[in-house]
Structure formats: structure tokens, C-alpha cells
Structure 1
Amino acid sequence: MKKTFAKLLLLTSLAATPFIIGGCDKVANSAKNLQSDWVGLDRRIEIYSCMSGKLLKVFEGDVRINPEDTLGTSLLVDGKKVNTNMCYIITEKGTKAQILPQ
């Protein structure tokens, strides 16, 4: 009886875990960063002047965002760090196809 209850409790816990974790924004962002690190997300970043709205710079490539920054934002674009405190728009183009070794 105790083993059956323990198995039922374990299966219920395992089934509920993705729903509990999946709702958390921080976990979802971490999963997106892991996907960006492992597979590479092709993104386009447009940096604008916050006062005039003029487009200043465009970056395209594999981009990772550092959400831990308190002053401004740091982005890792194709392995190079870009720091900005300007307004920006990030557009995700999709994931890159990986060729599996045979």
C-alpha cells in the first residue's frame, strides 16, 4: 500500500513539474538563453535614439541578452559584447538548422 502511494505521488509530482516550472517567466527566459547558446538564435537588433527615434545601428547574427544588467543592457552579438542604454528592438528570425554527424 505504501509503495503504491509513493509511486502515485512520484508520478503526480513528475507530471505536475513542467506546468509549475513552465509558467515562470524567468525559467522561460533562461530556457531561451540556453537555446540561444546551444543552437544559436538568429536575431536582428535595431538601436534607436530614445529622443529622436532615429535608427543608429543594426546588428544581425547570433544574439544573447544579459537580463542581469542594472544600468543599460548588454548583448552578445556573434561573440562580441555590445553595451547600450539606448532604445532597441530585437527581432528573432528563427533557429538555425543543425547538421547532425553521421
Structure 2
Amino acid sequence: MKKLLLAATLLLTIFLGGCTWLDDKVKDHESDTKGLERTVTVYSKTGDVVKQYKGDNVRTKYNDGGALVVNIDGKRVQVMNSDVVIEEKGAEKYEINKENK
């Protein structure tokens, strides 16, 4: 009985402690397989917007050379030596503007 109680406690601890981890893994899988609605903004080193991409099926990964590869609705863009912000739809509601501080 003690072993069963210990096993149940251990399983519950792992389950509850792993909820965030599991959510992250599910989101990663969704991003890798079907893509997410995202906006990708590419900035120059001086902070100017160089390009902005938006799509319903956006997937990202880094290649072996360190370049960011962005697949936007089946089209591929490689970004090298630039600062990039990738925003998932809905993330803008968490943005803190200078006016809101």
C-alpha cells in the first residue's frame, strides 16, 4: 500500500510539475507541423525595419550556418546577420508600451 501511495504521489508531482513543460512541447509540435499565425519583423543593426512578413502558416528554424529560415505559407526566407522579432498572433496583448508604464 505504501508503494502504491508513493507511486501515486510521485506520478502526481511529475504530472503537475510538468504541465508547463508539456504545454511548451505541444506548442513546439504545433509550430513544427502546421505552423502558427505569426508576424516576423527583420531589423537592421541600426534598428530600422528592413522587412516584415506575416502569414497563417509560419514556421521557423535555424540552419547549420546559423541563419534563420522562415517558412511563410510555403515560401522560404533566410535571414542572416539581422535582428529578428517573431510574434505569434495574440502576443501583442502582453506588450508593454512606454505609455503603459
Q: What is the TM-score of this pair, normalised by structure 2?
A: 0.62
1:67 is displaced (CA, Å) by 5.4
Q: 2:83 aligns with which of 81, 87, 92?
A: 87
Q: Compare relative contact order (CA 8 Å, sep 6+) and give the higher one, 1 or 2.
A: 1
Rate the CA distance shift 1:8–1:82 in 2: closer, same or farther, 3 A.
Answer: farther
Q: What residue is the counterpart of 2:70 in the other structure?
A: 75
Alignment-mate amino acid for residue 48 of structure 1: Y
Alpha-carbon displacement from aligned partner over 1:52-88 (angstroms, at most 9, x marks no partner)? 3221211111222225756132222223332212111
Q: Is the 8 A contact 1:33 1:64 kept in 2?
A: no
Unaligned runs of 5+ in 2: 91-101
Distance in 2 (alpha carbons) for counterparts of 1:74 and 1:80: 10
Instruction: Count residues with an aligned counterpart.
Output: 88
Secondary structure of the corresponding residue to residue 14 of structure 1: helix
Counterpart in the other structure of 2:2: 5
Unaligned runs of 5+ in 1: 95-102
Q: Secondary structure of 2:47's match?
A: coil
2:60 is matched with which residue: 34, 40, 65?
65
TM-score normalised by L of structure 1 = 0.61
